[in-house]
A and B are shown apart, each in its own frame.
Chain A
């Protein structure tokens, strides 16, 4: 974990509408270079959370900070440093693609050559150059999505908030989008992506957060998921197994009488578990990754099991 300050920080940011809690107090930090995948079933509060992050909505309670500055107190920071793409990119249908980008650029404060250079670069990069004179009202879903993305990227924002950015994109365009987002993150931007496609999260994101019923139920870096293992030993052997595996483990929890959840120390090899147990005379009945797949975790939370447990 880097000690760099968070680019985006939500401090117990909540949203209440007509007496109903749409989003429970949400505390979350995101540093530059991180890509957060935001998951949740329909109505989980994802879009509200994204709109809070993008500065479209102000939190009813708590605060949202961008580089340490409260967005409610300085909404202009949203204009200068946030790129937001809502679901189904909303575009003005009367304008051509080029006019659309120019209009967004001007509203973001870009002028003259800075605007035209940024616009032309994005038209090329997102394969929109052949469409530059086409009216936005005549574009296909995928084309609209690319124009929306270009509008969000035009001013080189330090925070990108994207709601289903892959909507309507063909596989080639989706790959291009991934490459673009990777490059943007490598340049130090923080990115939040809301999607229903778990594979997209696994390929693009460094972290995953799951919202359920308006509350954050899960927030974990993706790369930490495979260092935990579920070890099943002979009945009644869990205490002895714990003692044997202690030198290899960062943390051990006994989940059931004969099953332990073992998080390995850095550098420890999973292949050492079985010989250690066998040498101590503990019968090993099973060894598998303890961390659920993202799909399993999501299903568990969305199904309500984790919600009930917490």
Chain B
């Protein structure tokens, strides 16, 4: 696994040199910045009404956390676009054999690439987080709740990216990889809605769905079972990607 840091460095460098991740980041920040202004306007307008309530929601509940929740929805589309090149793009460009020829284990290749993209996504998350934090000196922020929401979002990004990397391991067409990742992601996202149906499988569907485990953290509640869910999902997806790549060397 000593190759992981070397590959991570290469992948980070490549990611930082590509224009489209920055275009995506700019678009995301622009959109969320605009929404922050709208939410802030609504929050200020509602001040008089909120003052009459005994336990009125504050800036964190009305502006900061909803902004992060909005980023979570954007991430459903963003991560498949970011991850589609991971292995499918290398395969298509013919650069995958170069990595395999260097005797790198499949796990090192998958982890190196995954971690580089995850660092980039977390950097974007940090920039998104700066938006509500800019107003921290002028308002009261519930840092505990914000930290829990940030943790939830960081785990969601890690899970979505792992799904995207797994999808990318199964095809040589990046667009197909993105479509596959999006389909899986949407199925996991919609599981909560289906889980409300009074069926035998409802509890399972509800447990499988991403929002079931993200929502408590957005409300400031960090539970071990939610952390375990994200951990299992990430390990499963990366394990699939590693297995597929190892199989490529041995059998395909």
> Could you list 18 examples of A-B contacts with CB < 8 Å?
A51-B97, A56-B97, A56-B101, A56-B249, A75-B105, A77-B103, A84-B98, A86-B98, A88-B94, A90-B95, A92-B10, A94-B14, A95-B17, A103-B13, A104-B98, A106-B6, A107-B6, A107-B99
Q: Is the CB of A57 within 8 A of B249?
A: yes
Residues of A within 8 A of B (CB): 17, 51, 54-58, 60, 75-80, 82, 84, 86, 88, 90-95, 99, 103-104, 106-109, 151
CA distance A75 to B219 in the complex (A): 48
* Contact flag A58-B13 (CB < 8 Å), given A79-B103, A90-B93: no
Taking A99-B13, A106-B10, A107-B6 as contacts, is the C-beta distance between A90 and B98 under 8 angstroms?
yes
Of A60, A92, A107, the residue contacting B3 (CB under 8 A) is A107
Q: How far is the CB of B211 from chain A (nearest CB, A)?
A: 36
A78 / chain B contacts, CB cutoff of 8 Å: 101-103
* Given A56-B100, A79-B102: A92 in contact with B95 (beta carbons within 8 A): yes
Closest Cβ–Cβ distance, residue A109 to chain B (whole Å): 8
Min CB–CB distance B232 → chain A (angstroms): 29
- With a cutoff of 8 Å between Cβ atoms, the chain B residues found around residue A77 in the complex are 103
Inside 8 A of A86's CB, which chain B residues have their CB? Answer: 94, 97-98
- Contact check, A84 vs B101: say whether CB atoms are below 8 A apart: yes
CB-CB contacts below 8 Å: B199-252 with A: 249-252
For the complex, is B49 an interface residue (Cβ under 8 Å from A)?
no
- Determine whether B9 belongs to the interface, using a CB cutoff of 8 Å to chain A: yes
CB pair A108–B18 under 8 Å, yes or no, is no
Pairwise interchain contact B13-A55, C-beta atoms closer than 8 A: no
Given contacts A90-B94, A90-B98, 11 further A-B contacts (CB under 8 A): A17-B252, A60-B251, A75-B103, A84-B101, A86-B97, A92-B14, A95-B17, A99-B13, A104-B102, A107-B10, A151-B98
Residues of B within 8 A of A75 (CB): 103, 105
> Does B7 sit within 8 A of A, measured CB to CB?
yes
The answer to whether the Cβ of B39 comes within 8 Å of any Cβ in the partner chain is: no
Closest chain-A Cβ to B162's Cβ sits at a distance in Å of 23
Of B3, B17, B103, the residue contacting A94 (CB under 8 A) is B17
Say yes or no for B175: interface residue by CB 8 A criterion.
no
B10–A76 touching, CB < 8 Å: no
Interface presence of B104 (CB below 8 A): yes
The docked-state distance in angstroms from the alpha carbon of A89 to that of B156 is: 37
Residues in B whose Cβ lies below 8 Å from that of A56: 97, 100-101, 249
Which 7 residue pairs are nearest across A and B when measured between Cβ atoms? Answer: A79-B103, A90-B94, A78-B103, A75-B103, A84-B101, A94-B17, A106-B6
- Closest Cβ of chain B to A104, distance in Å, is 8
Q: Using Cβ atoms and an 8 Å threshold, which residues of chain A touch B9?
A: 103, 106
Residue in A17, A80, A95 whose CB lies within 8 Å of B251: A17
Given A86-B97, A99-B13, A106-B9: A94 and B104 interface contact (C-beta under 8 Å) = no
User: Bound state CA distance, A92 and B94, in angstroms?
Assistant: 10
Report Cα–Cα, A104/B98, bound state, in Å: 9
Given contacts A92-B95, A95-B17, A107-B3, contact A55 B101 (CB under 8 A): yes
A78–chain B nearest beta-carbon distance, Å: 4
In this complex, what residue of A is CB-closest to B101?
A84
Chain B residue at minimal CB-CB distance from A80: B103
Shortest Cβ distance from residue B92 to the other chain A in the assembled complex, whole angstroms: 10
Contacts of B7 in A (CB 8 A): 107
A91, B95: Cβ atoms closer than 8 Å:
yes
Q: In the complex, how many angstroms separate the beta carbon of B207 from the nearest chain A beta carbon? A: 38
Residue on A with the closest CB to B105? A75
Distance in angstroms from B11 CB to nearest chain A CB is 9
Interface centre among A57, A78, A151, by most chain B C-beta atoms within 10 angstroms, is A57
Closest chain B residue to A87, Cβ basis: B94
**Please, how many angstroms separate the alpha-carbon atoms of A93 and B18 in the complex?**
10
The distance in angstroms between the C-alpha atoms of A104 and B252, with both chains bound, is 25
Chain B: minimal CB distance from A206 (Å) = 24
In the complex, A92→B97 CA distance in Å?
13
Do the beta carbons of A79 and B104 come within 8 Å of each other? yes
Q: Which residues of B contact A57 (CB under 8 A)?
A: 100, 249-250
Contact status of A58 and B103, CB under 8 A, knowing A51-B97, A90-B93, A90-B95: no
- Minimum CB–CB distance from B177 to chain A (whole Å) comes to 18
Question: In the complex the two chains form, is B102's CB within 8 Å of A107's CB?
Answer: yes
Give complex CA distance A32, B52 in Å: 87
Tell me the minimal C-beta distance from A91 to chain B in angstroms.
7
Residues in B with CB closer than 8 Å to A88 are 94
Nearest CB on A from B250, distance (A): 5
Q: In the docked arrangement, what's the CA distance between A95 and B95, Å?
A: 13
**A55 to B: closest C-beta gap in Å:** 6
Across the interface, which residues of B come within 8 angstroms of A92, CB to CB? 10, 14, 95
Which residues of chain A are within 8 angstroms of B103 by Cβ–Cβ distance?
55, 75-80
Q: How far does the Cβ of A107 sit from chain B's closest Cβ, in whole Å?
A: 5
Q: For chain B residues 83-137, which have a beta carbon within 8 Å of chain A?
A: 93-95, 97-105
How many angstroms between the C-alpha atoms of A55 and B104 in the bound complex? 10
**A233 CA to B103 CA in the complex, in Å?**
58
